[in-house]
């Protein structure tokens, strides 16, 4: 028994010794770490080394401050423009009397004496018997149509300025960048939701959307637009697309309404809008170069007609056919004939009526001389034409 007890005592002493060793080892480790830090710090100081903290690096607090500033900018941009964005009601005469056929939005861009001028979309005011403007405070005013331009889908209307409190600041689309914040302000689904605002980004620039003006299912023009994912709903047409500086950079025009498409809306850039509304306000229409001919796309004519009746070479498949000539027009003075085929203007190939219009309206002015490349009875010729205006 004594031998067993002695053995147990020896084992317990050995365990206590091991525990003391581990504790001392841990203590020496901690002490070693402290000494190492002290030595490193001392060496760094002795060598003159300093550690700079880059305060420009994003932190959670910096992100919160940035988001707060962005929200302030959004709120301020909306406040600066809400009173300048109005509802526009299209009233049409029916058997039951004058009824509201549709509604949209508009932007007050100018006050001059007793009048205030509003830009909206052509499709908002189309076929209206009367127009009514609903201001941001709910007051209504009868509006006069000053002019429309179907090609750009723009219109100008006028109201008395006595109730107008705010005029929008028109900006420019030249410095607009993809990814920047865009705010759409308007009256979605009618005046019950007047002054609504949605926020998104600019999704794309220099987009071209085909426009069918005469209803023949063929594009007559391509409207230049800004693409945005800020929600543009029915009734937003004619409203403002605004940047964080509170400037109107575009006039909301349309959205792609397909079940599988979400977040694709369009606005007409202010650089396109400004010259058009100047003409509409003062002249009631946009003055553009004029040739005095009616045209048809060559691509719409069967190939047998092109070769058998027009005697066109087999390699000529694009251009426009002269379908009619107005008497006393530049085309008449240039001796153009019915069934002439125009394939180029000033050396630029013409593929369609739309490409011809785009060249005329963007590259020429009233009084300019243009050279047409024309096929008549299968033979190529040149025709000089002096443009007038329409």
Domains in the chain, ordered, with CATH? 81-163 (2.40.10.10), 181-283 (2.40.10.10), 289-389 (2.30.42.10)
Q: What is the set of active-site residues? A: 123, 153, 237
Residue 129 has pLDDT above 60, yes or no: yes
Report field, pTM of the whole predicted structure over 0.75: no
Residue 353 has pLDDT above 90, yes or no: no
* pLDDT tens figures, 289-327: 989 998 888 888 777 777 778 888 888 888 999 989 999
Query: Which is higher by pLDDT, 127 or 389?
Result: 127
Mean pLDDT of the chain: 80
CB 184, CB 231: distance < 8 Å: yes
Q: State what percent of residues in the chain have pLDDT above 90.
A: 44
pLDDT bin (cut points 50, 70, 90) of residue 227 is very high
Question: Which of 187-201, 298-312, 338-352 bottoms out in mean pLDDT, i.e. has the lowest?
Answer: 187-201
Cα-to-chain-centroid distance, residue 351? 27
Q: How far apart are CA 23 and CA 33, in angstroms?
A: 15
Cβ burial of 301 (10 Å; 0-12, 13-18, 19+) is: middle
Torsion over CA: 78, 239, 272, 343 (sign): positive
């Amino acid at each position: 028994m004594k031998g067993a007890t002695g053995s147990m005592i020896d084992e317990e002493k050995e365990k206590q010794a091991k525990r003391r060793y581990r504790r001392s080892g841990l203590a020496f480790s901690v002490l070693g770490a402290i000494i190492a830090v002290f030595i490193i710090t001392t060496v760094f100081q002795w060598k003159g080394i300093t550690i700079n903290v880059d305060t420009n690096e994003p932190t959670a607090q910096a992100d919160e401050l940035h988001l707060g500033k962005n929200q302030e900018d959004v709120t301020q941009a909306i406040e600066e423009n809400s009173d300048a964005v109005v509802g526009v009601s299209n009233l049409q005469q029916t058997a039951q009397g004058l009824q509201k056929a549709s509604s949209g939005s508009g932007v007050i861009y100018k006050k001059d004496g007793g009048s205030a001028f509003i830009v909206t979309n052509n499709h908002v005011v189309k076929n209206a018997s009367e127009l009514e403007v609903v201001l941001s405070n709910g007051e209504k005013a009868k509006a006069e149509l000053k002019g429309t331009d179907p090609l750009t889908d723009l219109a100008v209307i006028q109201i008395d300025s006595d109730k107008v409190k705010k005029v929008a600041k028109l900006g420019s689309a030249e410095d607009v960048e993809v990814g920047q914040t865009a705010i759409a302000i308007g009256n979605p689904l009618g005046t019950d939701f007047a002054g609504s605002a949605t926020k998104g980004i600019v999704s794309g620039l220099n987009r071209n959307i085909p426009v069918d003006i005469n209803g023949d299912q063929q594009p007559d023009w391509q409207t230049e637009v800004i693409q945005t994912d800020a929600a543009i709903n029915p009734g937003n047409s004619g409203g403002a697309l605004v940047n964080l500086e509170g400037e109107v950079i575009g006039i909301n025009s349309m959205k792609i309404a397909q079940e599988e498409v979400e977040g694709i809306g369009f606005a007409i850039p202010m650089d396109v809008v400004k010259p058009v509304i100047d003409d509409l306000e003062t002249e009631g229409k946009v003055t553009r170069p004029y040739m005095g001919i009616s045209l048809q796309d060559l691509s719409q004519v069967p190939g047998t007609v092109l070769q058998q009746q027009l005697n066109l070479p087999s390699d000529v498949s694009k251009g426009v056919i002269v379908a009619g000539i107005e008497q006393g027009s530049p085309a008449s003075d240039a001796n153009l004939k019915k069934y002439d085929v125009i394939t180029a203007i000033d050396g630029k190939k013409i593929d369609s009526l739309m490409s011809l219009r785009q060249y005329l309206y963007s590259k020429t002015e009233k009084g300019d001389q243009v050279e047409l490349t024309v096929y008549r009875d299968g033979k190529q010729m040149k025709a000089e034409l002096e443009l007038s205006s329409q």
